[in-house]
């Protein structure tokens, strides 16, 4: 560049001194211009080359960094897999039979919860038996139990006392877990029976001396033996639960993590008393206690349901009424022919798991009209349907009594209080002399303008109560 500048000044000087011809001047200017152009292009080429090299180096560094990151992530993933494969509490093993059972139950349980029923699990949440009763389960050995609800994480489980009972998919159980250090109690909120010998329960602790106020749902499996009263109880843990633990910091500040659970389940041996629907339907029935047709008072609900399915298989046997409310009795509509029509039957169970009353309902009814009975003669109410059936029963059974004057008065009054107290009804009582059970033809009000007529067949126990009440209603000399 300096050379070009000097040449340029030389040309100027020569012109001023007339020391160079015009031809030589032209030639010299062309040479100088070419040199200037070459000089100007040289830096540009150098700059472009430098920029390109920098970008290339930068790209290589980025690719190298990315490769290192990928290798690091891959290594971490492999380490994580290796850790999990050596940690029985973080996964559910496919080789352990109990783990397989827990895995199967957890899968179904989670599917059920995914349907939006997470908070209020009740009844048979996975499908299964219509009848189940399990009770008197006792831990046969003292074993350490890891309990997240306990004030002390490690306690010694001694006994499990619970009764879980359900009929036709409905029910709830109560439990108490007894430890050497105290107790926990709560409810079994949901259940299912898998393979007829695996009872899956959703248990929620509600209190007890060891409770710390933190309540979780526990998935518990009770495995039964068909040939003995020995069984097994598994507290199944999902991966989140089995990963629970705590940290210990030593004097140097080093942290060590310890897990609460050494496995993905806790196992205990049981002594079990279990009944299933199959056992219940095979229960012997004492027909001498009476009933109605092939429905006997000594049957349980499972046996009643079986007979309903025989007589009217197309009808639903349920304890939900027309208002979608759960009732204390079980019913089936349009099941038996009675008086030329298909009738609805109601079955009222007692605390002994048998039947105390069988009712043929809605033999007659009046809606939105205030109707009374007259009884101008002692056996004629003035209601044609009621009187027709009373006459038919008089010809077959022993008459105990017609409606009393007090019953007639209460029924005809339409008094709201008497209706609410179930006193606005008339009864004609008969006795079956074969089993001494009472049959009641009952007409009753549900409000002033509505009344219904049912026929009730009463069990021996309820029949005795009615007869004793009838005797008690008489005014004795001692009373006055």
Distance CA 23, CA 27 (A): 6
pLDDT at 227: 59
DSSP designation for 90: T
- List CB contacts of 118: < 8 A, sequence separation 6 or more: none
Distance CA 145, CA 98 (A): 17
Distance of alpha carbon 198 from alpha carbon 104, whole angstroms? 11
Detail the DSSP E strand segments found in 152-264.
154-167, 170-171, 173-179, 182-194, 198-207, 217-224, 230-236, 245-249, 255-259
C-beta pairs of 239-246 under 8 Å, 24+ apart in sequence: 239/90, 239/91, 239/92, 239/264, 241/148, 242/89, 242/90, 243/89, 243/90, 244/148, 246/153
**47-63, pLDDT tens digit by residue?**
455 556 667 777 777 77
Query: Which of 53-57, 162-166, 273-277, 411-415 reaches the highest mean pLDDT?
Result: 411-415
What are the pLDDT digits (tens) for 386-401?
A: 999 999 999 999 999 9
Q: How large is the average pLDDT for residues 430-444?
A: 96
Q: Average model confidence (pLDDT) for the chain?
A: 76
- Its pTM surpasses 0.85: no
pLDDT digits (tens, 9 = 90+) for 101-130: 888 888 777 765 555 444 444 444 444 445
pLDDT for 410 beyond 90: yes
**pLDDT 10s digits, 292-313:** 999 999 998 888 988 998 999 8
3 state DSSP class of 300: coil
Q: Model confidence over 219-246: pLDDT tens digits? A: 888 877 665 667 788 888 877 777 777 6
What would the two tokens of residue 182 be?
Answer: 């105290």
Residue 254 CB contacts under 8 Å (≥ 6 apart), including other chains: none
- Does the pLDDT at position 453 exceed 70? yes
Q: Which two tokens stand for residue 305?
A: 């349901």
Read out DSSP for 417-435? HHHHTT-SEEEEEEEETTT
For residue 323, name the pLDDT band (cuts at 50, 70, 90). Answer: confident
**Contact between 345 and 359 (Cβ < 8 Å):** yes
pLDDT on residue 386: 96
CB 187 within 8 A of CB 175: yes
Domain residue ranges of the chain, discontinuous segments joined by +: 2-82, 97-276, 283-472
**159-168, 302-311, 353-362: segment of lowest average pLDDT:** 159-168
What is the dihedral angle through the alpha carbons of 96, 98, 100, 105, rounded to the nearest 10 degrees?
Answer: -160
pLDDT surpassing 70 at residue 198: yes
- State the Cα–Cα distance between residues 36 and 32, nearest whole angstrom: 6
């Amino acid at each position: 560049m300096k050379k070009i500048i000097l040449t340029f000044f030389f040309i100027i000087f020569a012109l001023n001194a007339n020391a160079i011809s015009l031809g030589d001047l032209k030639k010299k200017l062309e040479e100088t211009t070419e040199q200037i152009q070459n000089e100007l292009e040289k830096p540009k080429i150098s700059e472009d080359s430098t920029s390109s090299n920098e970008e290339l180096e930068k790209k290589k560094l980025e690719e190298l960094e990315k490769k290192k990151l990928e290798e690091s992530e891959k290594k971490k993933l492999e380490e994580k897999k290796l850790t999990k494969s050596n940690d029985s509490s973080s996964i559910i093993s496919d080789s352990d039979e109990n783990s397989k059972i827990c895995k199967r139950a957890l899968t179904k349980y989670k599917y059920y919860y995914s349907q939006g029923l997470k908070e209020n699990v009740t009844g048979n949440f996975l499908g299964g038996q219509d009848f189940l009763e399990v009770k008197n389960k006792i831990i046969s050995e003292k074993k350490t139990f890891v309990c997240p609800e306990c004030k002390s994480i490690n306690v010694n489980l001694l006994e499990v006392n619970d009764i879980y009972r359900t009929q036709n998919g409905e029910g709830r159980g109560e439990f108490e877990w007894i430890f050497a250090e105290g107790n926990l109690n709560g409810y079994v909120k949901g259940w299912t029976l898998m393979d007829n010998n695996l009872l899956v329960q959703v248990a929620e602790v509600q209190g007890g001396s060891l409770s710390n106020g933190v309540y979780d749902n526990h998935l518990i499996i009770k495995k039964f033996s068909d040939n003995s009263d020995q069984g097994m109880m598994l507290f199944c843990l999902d991966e989140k639960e089995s990963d629970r633990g705590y940290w210990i910091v030593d004097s140097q500040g080093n942290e060590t993590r310890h897990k609460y659970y050494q496995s993905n389940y806790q196992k205990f041996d049981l002594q079990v008393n279990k009944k299933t629907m199959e056992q219940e339907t095979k229960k012997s029935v004492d027909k001498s206690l009476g009933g109605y047709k092939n429905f006997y008072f000594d049957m349980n609900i499972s046996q009643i349901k079986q007979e309903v399915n025989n007589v009217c298989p197309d009808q639903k046997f349920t304890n939900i009424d027309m208002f979608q409310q759960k009732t204390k009795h079980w019913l089936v509509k349009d099941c038996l022919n009675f008086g030329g029509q298909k009738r609805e039957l109601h079955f009222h169970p007692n605390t002994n798991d048998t039947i105390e009353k069988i009712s043929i309902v809605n033999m007659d009814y009046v809606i939105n009209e205030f109707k009374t009975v007259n009884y101008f003669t002692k056996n004629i109410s003035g209601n044609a349907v009621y009187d027709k059936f009373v006459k038919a029963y008089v010809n077959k059974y022993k008459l105990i009594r017609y409606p009393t004057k007090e019953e007639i008065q209460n029924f005809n009054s339409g008094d709201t209080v008497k209706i609410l107290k179930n006193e606005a009804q008339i009864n004609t009582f008969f006795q079956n002399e074969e089993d001494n059970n009472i049959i009641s033809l009952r007409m009753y009000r549900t409000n002033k303008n509505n009344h219904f007529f049912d026929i009730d067949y009463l069990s021996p126990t309820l029949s005795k109560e009615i007869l004793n009440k009838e005797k008690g209603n008489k005014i004795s000399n001692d009373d006055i």
